[in-house]
Amino acid sequence: MTRIAHLSDPHFGTVPEGLADRLASCLKTLRPDLVVVSGDLTQRARVGQFREARDFLMKLPAQVIVFPGNHDAPLWNVPLRLVDPWRNWRLGLGLPLEGRVVLGDVAVVGINSANPRVWKDGLIRPAQIAAMEAAFGGAGRRILALHHPPEPPAGEKPSLAGAERLVEACERLGVEMVLSGHLHFTQVAPLTAARGILALQAGTCLSSRTRDDGNAFTLVDLTGGGANIAHYRLATDGAFRPDAVTEWVRGPDGWR
């Protein structure tokens, strides 16, 4: 069994005191094989905020994949955002903008969907589709992670240019899960356009900007025919505890 912890949108700069340490402690107990942090590590893309994020990541008990969200490019410093949007990411965090981890027969690929020219919404570039093909080569089970959801949940506006092209590529490449964030609430459901792809939408794991969903993260246990998925939320006693566990099976007609 492969265990993946999916965190998103910590927004360092808005994290209540002590909460990051409590989350790191919880993850040490759960012992995931991989931690995916799907963007918006910072609130305002400041070097100090990236350093806070780096310090948190260094406490985690597993390999980590991280990639930017829209908040990880500077909002108010427009010249920097247009000329060198990831300068502070490099200076404060010092990690690649995209990544790939192989765990046995499972490949997890993280891509950068942030579009600094627009800032809030995302963009999938043709070169990223081509890179996905190479990154997933030879893997039995394939999981994609990015900040912006490729299909907006009910009631939400689309936020990713090139989403249709991305979903088509995921179907062709046999991707079975897409992990994303951006919206600050938790949801799991097959894509309506591709029911063989399970979309995992993570809430904010640490930020005070919770959109009434509370602080949460998702734990994915990959099983032989599917996945067991648990949502952990911050309880009133200050600890992260599971509040929902679901079993998903992937068959010829998709996930159920």
- Contacts of 171-176 spanning 24+ positions with Cβ under 8 A: 171/196, 171/197, 173/132, 173/133, 173/136, 173/142, 174/136, 174/142, 175/136, 175/142, 175/143, 175/144, 176/141, 176/142, 176/143, 176/250
Is the confidence at residue 174, as pLDDT, over 80? Answer: yes
Domain range for 233 is 2-255
pLDDT in the model for residue 84: 97
Report the CATH number at residue 74.
3.60.21.10
Taking every pair of Cα atoms in the chain, the longest distance, rounded to a whole number of angstroms, is 50
CA distances from 65 to 20, 58, 142, 179 (A): 17, 12, 15, 12
Q: Which of 155, 153, 158, 256 is nearest to 203 (CA)?
A: 153
Give 183-216 pLDDT, tens digit per residue.
999 999 999 999 999 999 999 999 999 988 899 9
- Please give the average per-residue pLDDT across 2-20, as a whole number: 98
Q: What does the pLDDT average to over 73-92?
A: 96
Number of domains in the chain: 1
- Per-residue pLDDT tens digits for 113-148: 999 999 799 999 999 999 999 999 887 999 999 999
Q: How confident is the model at residue 155 (pLDDT cuts 50, 70, 90)?
A: confident
Percentage with pLDDT > 70 across the chain: 100
Q: Could you report the per-residue pLDDT of 217-232, keeping only the tens digit for each?
A: 999 999 998 999 999 9
Task: Identify the residue with better confidence: 212 or 98.
Answer: 98
Write out pLDDT tens, residues 57-68: 999 999 999 999
Question: DSSP code of 114?
Answer: B
For residue 225, what pLDDT is reported?
A: 86
